[in-house]
């Protein structure tokens, strides 16, 4: 009986560790070798755990508007950088610049590394 409990506990820990690794392995989805710089209008923010997301309207190479979805860290990471949901909401409709790793599948989505707000404040994901 003792071994069944130990084996069950070990299996549970391994499954949880695998799920945590898969969730936090963003390199699977985003390509850090092709960092892009996007400047556009902040249109929306989704401020919730486990990661915030925001939308950015960016003019493409041929003048067409592309809607990008940018993923970020959790809200508490932003709080550690003295950035709040209100800061994002205040910037809606304004121009921000984002340095980010684009999606590997070519979709207009990315994971940010640095955001420059309209007032010049910079938030880096470190």
Q: 48 and 81: one domain?
A: yes
Q: 108 and 48: one domain?
A: yes
The 10s digit of each residue's pLDDT in 29-88 is 899 999 999 999 999 999 999 999 999 999 988 999 999 999 988 999 888 888 899 999
Q: How far apart (Å, rounded) are the C-alpha atoms in residues 89 and 72? A: 15
pLDDT at 117: 94
Q: Which two structure tokens, joined as six digits, stand for 42?
A: 């902040």
Q: How far apart (Å, rounded) are the C-alpha atoms in residues 87 and 117? A: 9
- The pairs formed by 16-20 with CB atoms below 8 angstroms and a separation of 24 or more are none
Q: How far apart (Å, rounded) are the C-alpha atoms in residues 7 and 15? A: 12
Q: 22 and 69: one domain?
A: no
Alpha carbon distances (Å) from 117 to 41, 58, 59, 76, 77 = 11, 15, 18, 18, 16
pLDDT at 83: 86
Q: Where are the beta strands (DSSP E) in the chain?
A: 36-46, 53-59, 65-71, 95-102, 109-116, 122-124
Q: How far is CA 20 from the centre of its chain?
A: 17
The number of distinct structural domains making up the chain is 2
Q: 13 and 71: one domain?
A: no
pLDDT at 70: 96
Q: 67 and 117: one domain?
A: yes
Domain containing 99: what range?
31-124
Q: 87 and 47: one domain?
A: yes
Q: Could you tell me whether strands 65-71 and 53-59 are parallel, antiparallel, or unpaired per DSSP bridges? A: antiparallel
Is the torsion defined by CA of 77, 91, 57, 116 positive or negative?
negative
Q: 51 and 113: one domain?
A: yes
């Amino acid at each position: 009986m003792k071994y069944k409990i130990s084996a069950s506990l070990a299996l549970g820990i391994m499954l949880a560790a695998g799920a945590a690794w898969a969730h936090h392995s963003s390199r699977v989805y985003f390509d850090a070798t092709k960092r892009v710089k996007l400047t556009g209008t902040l249109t929306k923010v989704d401020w919730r755990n486990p990661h915030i997301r925001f939308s950015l309207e960016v003019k493409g190479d041929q003048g067409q508007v592309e809607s990008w979805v940018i993923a970020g860290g959790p809200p508490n990471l932003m709080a550690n950088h003295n950035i709040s949901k209100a800061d994002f909401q205040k910037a809606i409709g304004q121009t921000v610049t984002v340095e980010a790793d684009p999606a590997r599948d070519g979709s207009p989505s990315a994971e940010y590394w640095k955001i420059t707000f309209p007032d010049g404040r910079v938030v880096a994901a470190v």
